């Protein structure tokens, strides 16, 4: 089975800091921290492949003295054989931070705690109908402890963007519910980007449901708001068995899964700005990357494909999803496809959509949005 990511569709309420929480004063409890040599500080160069196969290089330099922070929680990637992961970063955790968190250094200081997440081994057992013993609140309590440590020792009044994917988004949603909404710290949350996880709102509304006072973001200058989306190809239906984009059967009547398109917060279809990962790895289901363009060998960690993808939040098969289309042209030398489906053996699992690249398909849109929302928050909070 190829590694796949686990959406935690619910987390039990739990104390903010467990008695056995890791000591987040220790550098080894962090996957990424400012000033460290870590997955968020390495090579993040990009090859921009135009439709005519002309390739330009962009080094994605880190912002000089960024005025805001980003707090990133990674998805289900741990390859530990135990129900919950340990606090030692494996290659998958390092790789997903490189893919999903490193690009944000263009906008902010990046903090990413290690946490004892529910592992891929548990997900496999669950998919096979085996009993599981993982504690889904353990990872939440770790992240809550890390966030408390960050606020006490590192924040110093700065604005912060919360960024998560899949299990990481579920953890951050719980953090917003239990530790942020209705408390003074909420004024410092610029926005929350919760990819690959259902965030419930009343149908037709931007606030209410899972989060009581945090609205959906509808403009690039709005702050104190949240983005949420799940991604499917526009050529593939959302199967009835898919839990993405739909409220669970236990949800109150009138609830819907939120969808905010990072490239078009006000709605409608827009060109997406992806940063695809140029390697075999957790974010592309373990399959080799496509040949990005005939006659071109690409060696950078990221690949940008200007104009190739478009996306729109749509209700399809009674699911609210970010519907992604590929503007393929068989006559030009650039790739006409992207990876991102969950694959078991050689079979695509359609119920997961493009879950593995929920963030990659809009990565440059998210970084641009972080810069815009960060600037707006700074204007609003000038002293």
Q: What is the DSSP string of 225-280?
A: EEEEE-EEETTS---TT--TTS--TTSPTTEEE---BTTBTTSS-EE----EE-SS
**Residue 294's domain spans which residues?**
27-380
The conformational region for residue 188 under phi > 0 = left, psi -120 to 50 = alpha, else beta, is: alpha
Q: How far apart are the first and last CA of the chain?
A: 54
How many distinct structural domains can be found in the chain?
A: 1
Q: Is there a domain that residue 19 lies in?
A: no
The H or E element containing residue 169 is helix 167-175
Token reading at 33: 């921290």
Q: Is there a domain that residue 175 lies in?
A: yes
Q: Is there a domain that residue 44 lies in?
A: yes
Q: Is there a domain that residue 16 lies in?
A: no
Q: Provide the whole-model pTM.
A: 0.94
Q: Is there a domain that residue 2 lies in?
A: no
Q: Is there a domain that residue 329 lies in?
A: yes
Per residue of the chain (383 residues), give pLDDT as tens: 333 333 344 333 334 444 588 999 999 999 999 999 999 999 999 999 999 999 999 998 899 999 999 999 999 999 999 999 999 999 999 999 999 999 999 999 999 999 999 999 998 888 788 988 999 899 999 999 999 999 999 999 999 999 999 999 999 999 999 999 999 999 999 999 999 999 999 999 999 999 999 999 999 999 999 999 999 999 999 999 998 999 999 999 999 999 999 999 999 999 999 999 998 766 555 667 789 999 999 999 999 999 999 999 999 999 999 999 999 999 999 999 998 998 877 888 999 999 999 999 999 999 999 999 999 999 999 85
In order of 39, 44, 96, 278, 308, the CA distances from 300 in angstroms are 15, 8, 16, 7, 19
Q: Is there a domain that residue 10 lies in?
A: no
Q: Is there a domain that residue 160 lies in?
A: yes
- Taking alpha carbons only, the member of 205, 176, 173, 171 closest to residue 188 is 176
């Amino acid at each position: 089975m190829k590694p796949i990511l686990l959406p935690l569709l619910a987390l039990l309420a739990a104390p903010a800091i467990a008695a056995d929480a890791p000591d987040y004063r220790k550098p080894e409890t962090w996957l990424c921290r400012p000033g460290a040599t870590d997955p968020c500080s390495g090579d993040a160069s990009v090859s921009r492949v135009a439709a005519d196969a002309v390739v330009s290089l962009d080094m994605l330099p880190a912002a000089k003295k960024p005025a805001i922070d980003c707090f990133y929680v990674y998805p289900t990637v741990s390859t530990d054989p135990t129900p919950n992961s340990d606090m030692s970063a494996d290659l998958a955790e390092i790789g997903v931070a490189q893919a999903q968190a490193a690009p944000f250094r263009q906008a902010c200081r990046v903090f990413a705690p290690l946490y004892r997440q529910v592992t891929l081994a548990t997900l496999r057992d669950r998919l096979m109908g085996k009993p599981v013993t993982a504690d889904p609140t353990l990872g939440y309590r770790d992240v809550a402890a890390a966030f408390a440590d960050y606020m006490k020792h590192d924040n110093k009044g700065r604005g912060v963007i919360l960024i998560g994917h899949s299990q990481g988004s579920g953890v951050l949603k719980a953090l917003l519910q239990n530790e942020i909404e209705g408390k003074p710290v909420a004024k410092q949350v610029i926005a929350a980007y919760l990819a690959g996880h259902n965030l419930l709102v009343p149908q037709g509304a931007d606030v209410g449901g899972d989060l009581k006072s945090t609205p959906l973001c509808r403009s690039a200058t709005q702050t104190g708001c949240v983005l949420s989306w799940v991604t499917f190809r526009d050529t593939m239906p959302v199967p009835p068995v898919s839990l993405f984009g739909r409220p669970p059967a236990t949800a109150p009547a009138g609830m819907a899964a939120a969808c905010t398109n990072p490239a078009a917060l006000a709605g409608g279809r827009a060109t997406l700005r992806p940063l695809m990962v140029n390697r075999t790895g957790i974010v592309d289901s373990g399959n080799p990357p496509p040949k990005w363009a005939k006659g071109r060998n690409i060696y950078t960690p990221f690949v940008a494909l200007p104009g190739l993808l478009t996306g729109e939040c749509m209700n399809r098969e009674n699911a609210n999803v970010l519907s992604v289309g590929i503007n393929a042209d068989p006559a030009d030398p650039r790739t006409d496809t992207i990876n991102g489906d969950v694959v078991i053996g050689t079979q695509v699992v359609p119920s997961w959509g493009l879950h593995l690249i929920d963030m990659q398909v809009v990565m440059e849109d998210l970084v641009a949005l972080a810069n815009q929302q960060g600037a707006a928050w700074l204007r609003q909070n000038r002293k």
